[in-house]
Homo-oligomer: A and B are copies of this chain.
């Protein structure tokens, strides 16, 4: 397999053609709009192309179908989320201790909520009642669960008991629920507030005082 490189003068590398990026952006926006309005099952490829103002053939040039487009947007998002996950797993106990001293929320958490806000149109469509159950689970298992694992004592990480597994399931679902609620109520709280709330929910115990 001697694939002789065609040796272009300037390596394109990124997608060069503006038409492609324009079509994809239009389709992205149309999908999010329609999914928000009618749910993922409430519209057809025809509707999608009409909203995006482009030909149906163009759509099929890029994606295999509606779900393929949705999946594309989701993985794009999840890749970015992966960076946050990696950063959080590198957190030391020092970093955590620092937050209780300085009373400032974890910077990486604040940035995470900033990013979630930035992507709130996509998330609102996918996490909503008529959204994509698969995506919710991806986010739960690919972000929240990993974070909780990182907080566990190494002893439990190496030999998880049945209860530890439920413990993980409990907290990862819980944080996805918090994020979902924040998005659904219009993101009234600032990213800093949400980071603080997230920290506090980790340490609270029912019955304790809940005053803000």
State A131–B137 Cα separation when bound (angstroms).
11
Chain A residues with CB under 8 Å of chain B are 41, 67, 128-134, 136-137, 140, 151-153, 156, 161-167, 169-178, 180-182, 185, 188-189, 197, 200-207, 210-212
Q: Which residues of B contact A67 (CB under 8 A)?
A: 41
Give the interface SS of chain A, mostly helix, strand, loop or mixed. helix
Name the residue in A134, A170, A197 with the highest tally of chain B Cβ atoms < 10 Å from its Cβ. A170
Q: Which residues of B contact A128 (CB under 8 A)?
A: 133
State A189–B166 Cα separation when bound (angstroms).
11
Q: List 13 A-B contacts (CB under 8 A).
A: A41-B41, A129-B134, A133-B136, A162-B189, A162-B212, A163-B200, A167-B201, A169-B178, A170-B175, A170-B201, A172-B177, A174-B174, A204-B205
Shortest C-beta distance, A106 to chain B (Å), equals 15
Chain B residue with the shortest CB-CB distance to A129: B134
